[in-house]
Amino acid sequence: MTLELSRADRARLGGEGGPGVARAMRILVAAAEAMGATRLLDITRAHLDGCLYHGRASLDFVERLVAEGARVLVPTTLNVGSLDLLHPELVRLDPATAEAARRLMDAYVALGARPTWTCAPYLLEDRPALGEQVAWAESNAIVFANSVLGARTERYGDFLDACCAVTGRAPAVGLHTDEGRRARLLVRVRGVPEPLARSTAGLAALGHLLGRAAGHEVPVVDGLPTALGEDGLKALGAAAASSGAVGLVHVVGSTPEAPSVEAALGGRPPLRELSIGPAELRRARDELSTAGDGRIGAVSLGTPHASERELDRILELARHVGSLAVPCFVNTGRSTLARLEADGRAGALRSAGITVVTDTCTYVTPILQGIEQPVMTDSAKWAWYAPGNLGVRVVFGTTEECLRSAAAGRAWRDEALWGTA
């Protein structure tokens, strides 16, 4: 198959728009050919993941584009960086790395992107609509855009996402297409009590199992309560995108392209089926925990970035459990925090002992240092990555379990919720 380019594509390749645009176009064309695309399509917006500092190459790439005159062609938001620019005292990077990290974040702003610094761009006021073609990076943002919003994006990563933003184009393959969005794995959830099935931790545990089973396939989940909230779907998708390469999950009765199993499958039989019950969810919870139910050294919440609803719930729980015996951190976007600062809820969180982190996340930036005991989290994504990134042991549980554990200084479990009482 041959990649057919439009006249505008060829003009950009030939230097119209400047050397930075030509460079981005060359990279995009090479990637599209490798992906088997026969054409490119227009995108309406982008979300870039490359502003987290991983070394000199990440900085050189974007600074070269900026120096060559490239600018984003579509509205573009930015993922987390390596610094909390609102609370710089929290980050414990060495000065040279911190300087490079700041240069990287500045360079993406110079490229014309909005300094949103969030892994949850879907929590911003302006977000993609059903069927809208976008180029989003950051695994949880991708799966949320595709699944919950019904927008269309492939799994873009560092550098290619920026090339899409600069050219306004993306390969017309995979999750951008009707066929690529058709479910092939049918997951039947059976016998799970509704309180567990609706809890974010229960849905995260399910997502963890989905990712491991699906790999890069598109699953459809049947048997969950209908009209699940966005926070629960966020937890499910983020977990599936961490333990696997899932970019789209259809949930019957909750996501826009899955009014029925048959609709999600496109009228065809599934290639595989999987059944999940309470025992499997408990095993997933335990698999996400690398430490036992003993003493803990800290709690980390809000990965992906906490929504306003989640922050209200954390504040309610913190007030209920009383003084905290260990440090408790919550990651959120600066736009969400601004709303809480305006009405006093941010101050109330801090008074309750919660440290708010913005612009970054505690599993990618050295904030939780000097903590020798395990860290408890309500995020399957945090639990999946933190042991390798930070070298910490993890206890996974619900938000309530985390806050009650923070007050007790040791892991507390609601065994009745998980069916082990």
pLDDT tens per residue, the chain (421 residues)? Answer: 799 999 999 999 999 999 999 999 999 999 999 999 999 999 999 999 999 999 999 999 999 999 999 999 999 999 999 999 999 999 999 999 999 999 999 999 999 999 999 999 999 999 999 999 999 999 999 999 999 999 999 999 999 999 999 999 999 999 999 999 999 999 999 999 999 999 999 999 999 999 999 988 999 999 999 999 999 999 999 999 999 999 999 999 999 999 999 999 999 999 999 999 999 999 999 999 999 889 999 999 999 999 999 999 999 999 999 999 999 999 999 999 999 999 999 999 999 999 999 999 999 999 998 899 999 999 999 999 999 999 999 999 999 999 999 999 999 999 999 987 5
Alpha helix segments (H runs only) across 121-181:
139-144, 160-167
Buried b (16+ CB within 10 A) or exposed e, 61-77: bbbebbeeebbbbbebb
Same domain, 281 and 301: no
Same domain, 134 and 211: no
Is residue 2 situated within a structural domain? no
Same domain, 269 and 246: yes
Is residue 358 situated within a structural domain? yes
Task: Specify the number of domains making up the chain.
Answer: 3
Is residue 14 situated within a structural domain? yes
Same domain, 28 and 142: yes
- Point out the domain boundary residue: 138, 153, 176: 176
Other CB atoms within 10 Å distance of the CB of residue 304: 31
- Point out the domain boundary residue: 148, 176, 204: 176
Torsion of CA 64, 68, 69, 70, to 10 degrees: -50
Same domain, 29 and 68: yes
Same domain, 187 and 277: yes
Same domain, 193 and 117: no
Is residue 167 situated within a structural domain? yes
Same domain, 61 and 163: yes
Same domain, 59 and 141: yes
- Its domain, for residue 26, covers 7-176
Same domain, 157 and 264: no
Cross-strand pairs, 295? 410
Is residue 1 situated within a structural domain? no
Question: What's the predicted TM-score (pTM) here?
Answer: 0.97
